[in-house]
Structure 1
Amino acid sequence: MAQARADLMQGRLNPFGTRIDEILSPTEGRIGDHRVILAGTNNYLGLTFDPDCIQAAQQALEDQGTGTTGSRMANGSYGSHMALEAELADFFARRSVIVFSTGYMGNLGVIGALAGPEDIVLLDADCHASIYDACKLGGAQVIRFRHNDAADLERRMRRLGERARTALILVEGIYSMLGDQAPLREIVEIKQRLGGYLLVDEAHSVGVLGTHGRGLAEELGVEAEVDIVTGTFSKSLGAIGGFAASHHPDMDLLRCASRPYIFTASPSPSAIASVRAALQALRSRPELRERLWSNARQLYRGLAALGYRIGPQPSPIVPVLLGSPEEGVAFWENLIERGVYVNLVPPLATPGGQALVRCSVSAAHTPEQIERIIQAFAALRAPAAKAMAGA
């Protein structure tokens, strides 16, 4: 790992922690001497500079201070934490919601507490690292099925026999690397026939999919068959924190069993206040979702027309698959020099072991900014074609 890191540090910029020197708006920033369009954030609804969110956070900062200095189990459950849980329960039309310090902690806290050494977890091979780590925390037996392959899930469940009836199935609404969606209808149909419990991580799909923005399960009309929804506040809601929502009558028992809930400091009052304002914006301003998808389709079509290898379907996440890690770093640096920042994802974190750059669009991007992103990729098309030919 040390050698691989050293090899990728030969360029002009640090690919393992880009220093963004100034944030100018939800869509623009400065990296060194380069003013760049921020096309590598998860700020899907563009709410990080929303006046209502900022005012709510500032007021909470004045009224309640900088932090709770304690966990949810101890002194870190303020009235605002409880209010946000109630508002999220209403939004998701679920019996109860638990708020965690981050989305990562939410998955650790829920999956790690639910699935112990005697249990079986079936998870999509491309699930997020937090889901894999949660399974390790609980010690469950882990069975991976091929990415977005419902038939492979069914084969593996049938081999379990009666044990399939109590297995936990883990998938995501939108996958963070390729921007594709889980085949949730097919998975629900398998669950109805063979049993099991279904948890859907809607981190990248809340605020993005569904008539009301509740995610993929709402988009496909299968919310009643999803036992637990997890997600984050660090994407469409523009802050930090995480949640789990469920109809299960014993959901609140997790507050007594979830180590990340019990032993991690709770989200700051300012973050909670900002999320509450962002949730209101998500619910009352559907035009944000409409602008997001208009921008996503514009970028997806533009990069596809240039001949890049991109994700399998239009999405606010638009990956561009490249060749070697070194080629990926060079491509990423050249984009920054042309005024566009995207995420560089090295092979250790990518499906298939290839470097990729990941674009993420926002409702705050203008059509002109999307076109400038496309033109920056067009300027690098020849080197990219050479890299892909050798891959």
Structure 2
Amino acid sequence: MTIADREPVADKWVSNGASARWTIEGRPYLNFAGACYLALHREPALRQAAMDLIASGAPFAQQLPPNYGIRDAIFETVERTAAEYLGTDTAVFFATGYLIGQIGLCAYAGPGDHLYLDAGAHYNLVQATQLAGLPVTGFAHCDAQALQDAIAGTLRPGERPLIVTDGMFATTGDLAPLDAYARLVAPLDGRIFVDDAHAFGVLGDNGRGTAEHFGVEDVAHAGVTLSKAFCAQGAAMGCSREAAERANRLPPKRGANAGSTISAAVSTAALRYMSANPSRRTQLSDLARHARQQLRQLGLQVSNSPSPVLSFKLGSRSDMRRVQHRLFERGIYLPISDYLGAGPEGLFRCAIFADHSIEDIDRLASELGAAA
């Protein structure tokens, strides 16, 4: 990477991160990077949950898995709270969202399933399909027709299609067309498995994610993370009790640390906070809608998605880097992403947070227009 193609935050100290305001090398910045969309990290209820847990003398991590028959009130509470939020019989909590595929998918997939993997799926899903020991066929990114063609050409007698996809794609903010996928698999007794890390808490009338948004929770099963919108840590899978038993027997669940008790306590507090304060999600949705309108008025091509992630290109990579540095000089950080789905030139990934204001978004649009 040349000096010209370098992030303006490279080698700089960042503090107070995670939402609309960053401090970089002691200077305040308006921030549009990250994934803590609901901006809960400063909420007293979450911080108090962490302090209460420490004051109680609880261990920082739980070593023994449920297979030994041991019950742990902290982890049972977060699983019960996650199940209530997700509207499922129970839930399984684990240490990181990267295990969504290896625990969630592998708990649902079994003999007779043929996995159909979106070409843009997250790394954890790709690796999970490799571990599942089942037939795997790829299909073009977010393309229902390509999925239909793949199923028609590869599904063998006696097999069921199990679609494996992200719900909201991390880099672009685009949504997988789960409603179209559901119509394809329903006549075939098929199902959908969703890594809903970025949509959980953000989409759906109750914040349950992409499947709720599209009205397909009857055929779609999801793994979710608490470290994105909910600003906590850890992950969960809402499921039946039978699926939870299978998940707890899987090597990644049985062989790994159960996770941080502090993370579990803060996750519980975050879920309860959003259950009691759904207006925060509405506020975020309104801000994202306003940002999308403002960027389109600049002539930028922004996808028609309800997500709080807005991605766009602005000329060549060198053009985007020039604009990015100009914004940074003006006290705004807008990242250029090279992550999954960004393409060889990269793109601007603009994350909207619940603690942004209309004025923040208007300022970004004004400065973008001046710098472009």
- Same fold, TM exceeding 0.5? yes
Query: Residue 185 of structure 1 contacts residue 222 of structure 1 at CA under 8 Å; is this kept in 2?
Result: yes
Output one character per residue of 1:334-370: Cα deviation in whole Å (capped at 9) or x when no partner. Answer: 3322222233212x63344331121111111111222
Provide the rounded CA distance (Å) in 2 between the counterparts of 1:49 and 1:143.
Answer: 44
Query: Residue 106 of structure 2 contacts residue 247 of structure 2 at CA under 8 Å; is this kept in 1?
Result: no
Provide the rounded CA distance (Å) in 2 between the counterparts of 1:176 and 1:48.
Answer: 20
Pair 1:7–1:119, CA change in 2 (3 A): farther
1:294 maps onto 2:286 in alignment: yes
Equivalent in 248, 251, 256 of residue 264 of structure 1 = 256
Q: Quote the sequence identity (%).
A: 26
Alignment TM-score, normalising by the size of structure 2:
0.90
Aligned to 1:222: 216
Query: Residue 19 of structure 2 contacts residue 34 of structure 2 at CA under 8 Å; is this kept in 1?
Result: no
Equivalent in 43, 61, 81 of residue 87 of structure 1 = 81
Aligned to 1:109: 103
- State the Cα RMSD in Å: 2.7
Provide the rounded CA distance (Å) in 1 between the counterparts of 2:244 and 2:72.
Answer: 20
Pair 1:370–1:262, CA change in 2 (3 A): same
Q: Note the C-alpha offset of 1:68.
A: 1.3
For 1:153-168, what aligned pairs fall within 5 Å after superposition?
A: 153-162=147-156, 165-168=159-162
Provide the rounded CA distance (Å) in 2 between the counterparts of 1:252 and 1:334.
Answer: 53
Query: Residue 164 of structure 1 contacts residue 194 of structure 1 at CA under 8 Å; is this kept in 2?
Result: no
Provide the rounded CA distance (Å) in 2 between the counterparts of 1:173 and 1:12.
Answer: 28
Task: Answer with 177-186 or 287-296: which moved more.
Answer: 177-186
Pair 1:149–1:281, CA change in 2 (3 A): same
Letter in 1 for 2:228: K
Q: Note the C-alpha offset of 1:315.
A: 2.5
Provide the rounded CA distance (Å) in 2 between the counterparts of 1:53 and 1:242.
Answer: 16
Letter in 2 for 1:241: G
Aligned to 1:307: 299
Provide the rounded CA distance (Å) in 2 between the counterparts of 1:248 and 1:187.
Answer: 26
Aligned to 2:138: 144
**Which ranges of structure 2 fall in alignment gaps of 5 or more residues?**
none
Output one character per residue of 1:230-276: Cα deviation in whole Å (capped at 9) or x when no partner. Answer: 1100112111111112237343122112x322232232122111111
1:332 maps onto 2:324 in alignment: yes
Aligned to 1:70: 63
For the residue of structure 2 that corresponds to 1:90, the secondary structure is helix
Q: Note the C-alpha offset of 1:23.
A: 0.6
Q: Note the C-alpha offset of 1:66.
A: 5.9
Q: Note the C-alpha offset of 1:373.
A: 1.9
Equivalent in 37, 41, 44 of residue 48 of structure 1 = 41
Query: Residue 232 of structure 1 contacts residue 241 of structure 1 at CA under 8 Å; is this kept in 2?
Result: yes
Aligned to 2:347: 356
Query: Residue 196 of structure 2 contacts residue 222 of structure 2 at CA under 8 Å; is this kept in 1?
Result: yes
Provide the rounded CA distance (Å) in 2 between the counterparts of 1:36 and 1:364.
Answer: 14
For the residue of structure 2 that corresponds to 1:48, the secondary structure is coil
Pair 1:23–1:164, CA change in 2 (3 A): farther
Task: Answer with 326-335 or 32-41: which moved more.
Answer: 326-335
Letter in 2 for 1:72: P
Aligned to 2:362: 371
Alignment TM-score, normalising by the size of structure 1:
0.85
